A and B are shown apart, each in its own frame.
Chain A
Amino acid sequence: MWLLSHQESGVISSLLLNYFGRFDLGERLNLLVGGSAGFIENVGPTLLGLSTELKVDEIRSHFVLGVQHERWSGWGITENRAESYWDFRPLPSLSLAVGYSYRAPQYRGLGIQSLSWPTATAEWGALYRLEWKFLGHSDSQVARLSASFLVWNYDRMRLATSDNIHFSIIPSYRLSQSGSLQVMLMTAVKGFSGAVVSWDQLDLGLGWKYDF
């Protein structure tokens, strides 16, 4: 669960309450569920996502298929999208996800039409996420304090374009056997295609992680 301040200079300034859950459906399968609600700007439900994760531990890999519905109520725009990616964990402190995404924006309001997948301005794109746990033991039960560095355009069911490169640092402090307090700082690069780099996206989040 995250309380997230999402800022993009002059574009959006929102406060989001995000929930992400991973449910064990057996030895080989997980169900990932995500949801988000916005305050201040684009108020109301902003994201609903579902993914299935096939675990193949023999090759330190998870294979994920997911769909999401995101909405910007203040702008009357919604987006349906699908992703498929391979999440590879070569080291306990390192995970690398690569895959493909498909986004289908819909500009005609928030009603039933928002469930459609119009193709007129739909886009395919690359998906990636690198997470490096650079502080603390890989086993969260051992270390109280840990921290991760992420480079991504897909994380926690948020999908940016492949050239809108996001960087996050997530320090985490274990408060009990099952619960951790997390903080997220994120910024992102825009202007990649013109080799003129701009940094005007900034997120600050406070999260609570609980392992059942």
Chain B
Amino acid sequence: MISRRSSAALLLVFCLFFGCGKNLAQVFFHVSVDQRAKESLSGTIRVPTPLSLSDPSSFRFAVFGDVQIRAENKNMLTTFKNEVTDRNIDFFVVLGDLTEDGNNQELADIKSDLDQVGVPYYATIGNHDLFQANPSGGWESWKSTFGAATYSVTLGNAVRLILLDTSSGNIGATQFKWLENQLKTQAPFTLVGSHYPVNDGSGPSIWRLESVEERYKLTSLLDRYGVYAYLGGHVHGYREGRVGNILHLTIGSMYPYALDFGTRGYVLFQYERGNLTWERIDLGA
């Protein structure tokens, strides 16, 4: 039998590792990825729709992640707003961790901040948006603020953007099945984006999908259906490479405090009459 002292020590270890001032109930008892995906795909909550582009044969969009807004760092997208104007960006994509703690106030603040950028955007949820310090927030607030976290939109009949909810570090049965069905329909260019990357370099790391078999099954699907790129956030730094045949971009962070490596920035995609190109835009340390 485990003694009372051992039980207390185990609880302390869990609090130290998982607590960090967060809501422990949410850490362990959040809505499962399958439940979230089912709700996102049910049609009962708002799903972002494809944009009406002024020129569907030529458009630009930016992808970044990990804004992690807090009360003290509101309006942190000022630099990015200037980028949108200077580079004629038509829309942008945020790959999760829009907030630090996923509470109602932070979600309202980041929604306001993103709306003020002045162009449409697509977003999916990250781990910081899913669990929070306050009793309210998380998935319920995400749904009412941003709607679905798993969805697909096709822009200009050319670029299909598939966003997955990996905010609890996994993909799950519902999304795997839905993803494969989506990929069976051909599109000139398909980008799959989500919060967790598939790979995070060769050094010891915990900042990527944790199940090896989940990563391999996903890679196998993306490869089989000729996906152009997988885009992930979660890591506060930029990294590019290939996982099998798939272009894999750890997209870069807007996190205002510490970076894991490199500089802040985003990836700018340009679709131009049948060609899709991309470049990394460095916003400095």
Instruction: With A125-B204, A126-B204 as known contacts, state yes or no: A198 contacts B217, CB within 8 Å.
Output: no
A10 and B176 within 8 A (CB) = yes
Taking the complex as formed, is A39 at the interface, i.e. its CB lies under 8 A from any CB of chain B? no
B33 to chain A: which residues have CB within 8 Å?
198, 200
B131 to chain A: which residues have CB within 8 Å?
195-196
B169 and A198 within 8 A (CB) = yes
B213 and A121 within 8 A (CB) = no
Number of interface residues of A (CB under 8 A): 40
Taking the complex as formed, is B30 at the interface, i.e. its CB lies under 8 A from any CB of chain A? yes
Docked complex Cα distance between A159 and B130 (Å): 29
A8 and B202 within 8 A (CB) = no
Pick the contact of A107: B171, B213, B219 (CB < 8 A): B219
Taking the complex as formed, is A57 at the interface, i.e. its CB lies under 8 A from any CB of chain B? no
Pick the contact of A11: B18, B201, B217 (CB < 8 A): B217
- Minimum CB–CB distance for B247 against chain A, Å: 12
Residue of A nearest to B176 (CB): A10
Docked complex Cα distance between A196 and B130 (Å): 8
Taking the complex as formed, is A24 at the interface, i.e. its CB lies under 8 A from any CB of chain B? no
A120 to chain B: which residues have CB within 8 Å?
241-242
- Minimum CB–CB distance for A203 against chain B, Å: 12
Map CB proximity to A onto B185-213 as digits: 1 under 8 Å, 0 otherwise: 00000000000100101111111101111
A198 and B223 within 8 A (CB) = no
B22 to chain A: which residues have CB within 8 Å?
195
B32 and A198 within 8 A (CB) = yes
Taking the complex as formed, is A63 at the interface, i.e. its CB lies under 8 A from any CB of chain B? no
B27 and A195 within 8 A (CB) = yes
Docked complex Cα distance between A108 and B34 (Å): 30
Taking the complex as formed, is A119 at the interface, i.e. its CB lies under 8 A from any CB of chain B? yes
- Minimum CB–CB distance for A30 against chain B, Å: 27
B169 and A192 within 8 A (CB) = yes
Residue of B nearest to A104 (CB): B202
- Minimum CB–CB distance for B22 against chain A, Å: 6
B127 and A194 within 8 A (CB) = yes
A198 to chain B: which residues have CB within 8 Å?
32-33, 168-170
Instruction: With A107-B245, A196-B127 as known contacts, state yes or no: A11 contacts B211, CB within 8 Å.
Output: yes
A10 and B216 within 8 A (CB) = no
Docked complex Cα distance between A9 and B37 (Å): 14
A121 to chain B: which residues have CB within 8 Å?
199, 202, 241-244
Q: Which of A84-92, A136-144, A160-168, A204-212 binds B? A: A160-168
Instruction: With A9-B172, A76-B220, A162-B204 as known contacts, state yes or no: A195 contacts B212, CB within 8 Å.
Output: no
Docked complex Cα distance between A160 and B210 (Å): 8
Taking the complex as formed, is A56 at the interface, i.e. its CB lies under 8 A from any CB of chain B? no
A76 to chain B: which residues have CB within 8 Å?
220, 223
Taking the complex as formed, is A191 at the interface, i.e. its CB lies under 8 A from any CB of chain B? yes
Residue of B nearest to A108 (CB): B244
B206 to chain A: which residues have CB within 8 Å?
161-163, 192-193
A197 and B27 within 8 A (CB) = yes
Taking the complex as formed, is B5 at the interface, i.e. its CB lies under 8 A from any CB of chain A? no
Question: Which of B33, B130, B216, B234: most chain A CB closer than 10 A?
Answer: B216
Residue of A nearest to B18 (CB): A195
Pick the contact of A12: B32, B199, B202, B217 (CB < 8 A): B217
Question: Which of A74, A79, A120, A122: most chain B CB closer than 10 A?
Answer: A120
Docked complex Cα distance between A25 and B202 (Å): 35
- Minimum CB–CB distance for B141 against chain A, Å: 15
- Minimum CB–CB distance for A80 against chain B, Å: 13
Docked complex Cα distance between A72 and B213 (Å): 9
Residue of B nearest to A106 (CB): B244
B177 to chain A: which residues have CB within 8 Å?
10
Docked complex Cα distance between A74 and B221 (Å): 11
Residue of B nearest to A201 (CB): B211
Taking the complex as formed, is B173 at the interface, i.e. its CB lies under 8 A from any CB of chain A? yes
B234 and A124 within 8 A (CB) = no
Docked complex Cα distance between A161 and B202 (Å): 12
- Minimum CB–CB distance for A124 against chain B, Å: 5
A77 and B168 within 8 A (CB) = no
Docked complex Cα distance between A150 and B199 (Å): 27
Instruction: With A107-B243, A195-B20 as known contacts, state yes or no: A200 contacts B172, CB within 8 Å.
Output: yes
Map CB proximity to A onto B12-41 as digits: 1 under 8 Å, 0 otherwise: 000001101010001110101110000000
> Which A-B residue pairs are the 8 nearest by beta carbons?
A10-B173, A194-B127, A107-B244, A191-B169, A75-B220, A163-B206, A193-B206, A164-B210
* Given pairs A11-B214, A76-B220, 10 additional interface contacts (CB within 8 A): A72-B217, A75-B217, A75-B219, A77-B219, A77-B244, A119-B202, A121-B199, A126-B204, A191-B170, A195-B18
